[in-house]
Amino acid sequence: MAARAAFTDSDTADEAVRATCDDATTCKRFATSKGYWKDPYMQYFARSVGERKAPEINRGYYARVQGMNHLLDAFIRKTECDCQVINLGAGLDTTFWRLKEENLLPRKFFEIDFPTVVARKIHNIKKKPPLSKPIIETHSTDSLLLDAHSLDSDRYCIIGADLRDISTLDQKLKKFQLNQELPTMLLSECVLVYMTPSHSSNIIHWAAESFHTAMFINYEQVNMSDRFGQVMIENLQRRQCNLAGVEACQSLESQKERFLKSGWEHADALDMMTVYSMLPQEDVARIERLEFLDEKELLHQLLQHYSICWATKDKLNLGLSQLAY
């Protein structure tokens, strides 16, 4: 009986984590509909613009997306596209299509998420030509591997897997021609915080062991032990969503530390208030004119509770540790 209850609880917990993918998608969809940044592909994953979101939420998503893109694009340029990207917990992210459009496609772009999330994404890709066309265009043969929980083409691959099961993840990536010799970017955008510190540390460790030249960018909460952080945790708990990994989100130091103790040579971390102040200020001024923001203090608090941490290892001496804002 006890085992059964535990199974049901963890199932509910995983379902709540999977639902966070819809939150991210609807918030990004809304912000793009207001013109914070351009993403012509989002509409194919979330048809309706949905409920209005507060201006501080839209600015927060702007900082998140621009902040991640800045480091990712710098890495791709540094490697002259001779690299691969693995987006862990990718949800309905559209980065592959943006990179294709901007002529910045890596040799291969991998995405991982729970099989049910992947099944939904594949369903949308199959049905919407603007999503499927770029995949077909960059594929050299007539047929590509496609089933309910995976799609593999020359340049884009999406895999249904649980990130907490590293050996299956590793096996599946290798089956789809992961190249351990290529400079590799690992992305986790609001993902690690949903798993225990031991599970996320396994992933960070596995990534460091698997590639000799790599960069890992992690976006998630920080400064979570203060009052504002506690309220964020309680709000999520009310929706059955437990931030199981919050322990690593105490400070910028704790964020860096988890990489440095797991085989990464160099790590940096900034809170999103700082990232926001380092983004191209002309564009920041443009988005600040889009909507009137009454509660500046709330925006600052929000941005101070998220961070981008990036870590590198660089056997090929590409200069990865110099990539910054």
Ligand X SMILES: C[S@@+](CC[C@H](N)C(=O)[O-])C[C@H]1O[C@@H](n2cnc3c(N)ncnc32)[C@H](O)[C@@H]1O
Which residues lie near ligand X (CB under 6 A)? Answer: 17-18, 20-21, 24, 89-91, 93, 113-114, 117, 162-164, 189-191, 194-195
Q: Is 162 annotated as a binding residue?
A: yes
Give ∠ CA 108-170-166 in degrees, rounded to 5: 130
For ligand X, the closer of residues 111 and 213 by Cβ is: 111
Query: Reduced to 3 DSSP states, what percent helix, strand and coil does the chain have, rounded to the nearest 5?
Result: 50, 15, 35
Residue 269 C-beta: closest distance to ligand X, Å = 18
Q: Is 187 annotated as a binding residue?
A: no
Q: Is 290 annotated as a binding residue?
A: no
Which H helix or E strand runs over 27?
helix 2-33
**128/217 Cα distance (integer angstroms):** 30
| Beta-strand runs (E) in 117-161 | 145-147, 150-152, 156-160
Q: Taking a C-beta distance cutoff of 8 angstroms, is the pair 135, 128 a contact?
A: no
Residue 195 C-beta: closest distance to ligand X, Å = 5
Residues present in the chain in total: 325
Residue 157 C-beta: closest distance to ligand X, Å = 15
Q: Is 226 annotated as a binding residue?
A: no
Q: Is 268 annotated as a binding residue?
A: no
For ligand X, the closer of residues 164 and 266 by Cβ is: 164
For ligand X, the closer of residues 63 and 117 by Cβ is: 117
For ligand X, the closer of residues 28 and 213 by Cβ is: 28
For ligand X, the closer of residues 191 and 308 by Cβ is: 191
Residue 24 C-beta: closest distance to ligand X, Å = 4
Query: Backbone phi, then psi, for 318, in 5-degree steps?
Result: -80, -15
Residue 65 C-beta: closest distance to ligand X, Å = 8
**308/220 Cα distance (integer angstroms):** 7
Q: Dihedral through CA 226, CA 230, CA 232, CA 238, nearest 10?
A: 180
Sequence ranges of the binding site for S-adenosyl-L-methionine: 64, 89, 162-163, 189
Sequence ranges of the binding site: 64, 89, 162-163, 189
